[in-house]
Amino acid sequence: MPEARPTLRAVLEEGLLARWYGDAPPGIALRMVGALYGTLMRWRRWAYRVGLRRQHRLETPVVVVGNRTVGGAGKTPLVIALVGALRERGWRPGVLSRGYGRRSTGLQWVDGGSDADTVGDEPLLVHLATGAPVAVDADRITAANALIAAGCDVLIADDGLQHLRLGRVLEIEVQDVRGLGNARVMPAGPLREPLPARPADFRVVHGREACGTDVPMRLELGDARRVGGGAAPSSRPLSGFVGRPVHAVAGIGHPARFFRALRDAGLAVLEHAFPDHHAFTDADFAAMRDAPVLMTGKDAVKCRQLDLPDAWEVPVMAVLPTSFIDALDHRLRESPRHVEP
């Protein structure tokens, strides 16, 4: 099979990642742009802190799950786990998101018949995995109020550490094995903004050892589930794919994490990394008909209608310490308070 030539976007991304997470230093142009952007973000946070910009504070507690860096860090499996854990403790959680990458506008409710183009891939995955109410809107205040009206008594904002307009009771920061990279603001580094003076209430880490007050999260792969092609629903343990090559497809923030997990499960992986939130078509899989295709849940929700007779979703489940869930539940039941910007 001939090797595909990398696109210009892929080359540029590889160059930036080498500077953000590797030993290559960012050039002076990147540092200058990063310094300017960082200054603007500091002024923005200050404006919220002193009241020049209004932060909407709701009576219903809001928990923000996000990361400091560009791209994915494992937020969605954490959100799914939090919905289940809070529900077990008597809460009625709802999830709000801007629905990154969707082609619709305004408020959208996510249900089993939704498609990723309309509501976004991550919100659709969260709803299918949990059945919880999920509201999508670029105006997160509108989405939050819709969830409250629907009976939710705690809201989980999927992404939004930098969305200061929405008040929050708790912030949970997620970091993967890459951490904060060179700790510079983009484009000189991966940070979305300079690190605020006040850290998040909880920092959840995975793929590396937890230090100090870090909360360790373990990501486990579940049994593969058939997707696409109109095939009858079925599942297969990952051990059923051992002994022959498999095509591994990942259009997430850090595809290497998924590929490594499959290899750790004993699979012979042929890697196919796509841009985060990639909109898949049948053509993307034209050269993968010779072996089973394994993909993440985030990718599978965008491939349900494609002609993929041997494609399988590999769900990723977050395992968290009970002590962390207990602490989160306790904090939510305390007198309402709000995190200052």
Domain borders along the chain are: 62-91+153-217+320-333, 223-314
pLDDT in tens, 322-334: 999 999 999 999 8
pLDDT in tens, 164-185: 999 999 999 999 989 999 999 9
- Which strand ranges, in their side-by-side order, compose the sheet holding 202-205? 108-109, 134-136, 93-97, 154-158, 62-66, 170-175, 202-205, 215-216
pLDDT in tens, 221-264: 999 999 865 545 588 999 999 999 999 999 888 888 899 999 99
Peptide bond into 187 cis (omega under 30): yes
H or E segment at 49? helix 28-50
In percent, the amount of the chain with pLDDT more than 90 equals 70
pLDDT at 3 over 60: no
How many CB atoms neighbour CB 211 within 10 A?
9
pLDDT at 124 over 80: yes
Indicate the pairing of strand 218-221 with strand 293-296: unpaired
Predicted pLDDT of residue 207: 87
Cβ(190)–Cβ(71) below 8 Å? yes
pLDDT band at residue 101 under the 50/70/90 scheme? confident
- pLDDT averaged over every residue in the chain: 90
Q: Which two tokens stand for residue 36?
A: 């300017």
pLDDT in tens, 261-311: 999 999 999 999 998 888 899 999 989 988 999 999 999 999 988 889 899
Identify which has the larger pLDDT, 103 or 155. 155
pLDDT at 338 over 90: no
Following DSSP, what letter does each residue of 82-113 receive, concatenated? HHHHHHHTT--EEEEE--TT-S--S-EE--TT
What is the mean pLDDT of the segment spanning 101-125? Answer: 91
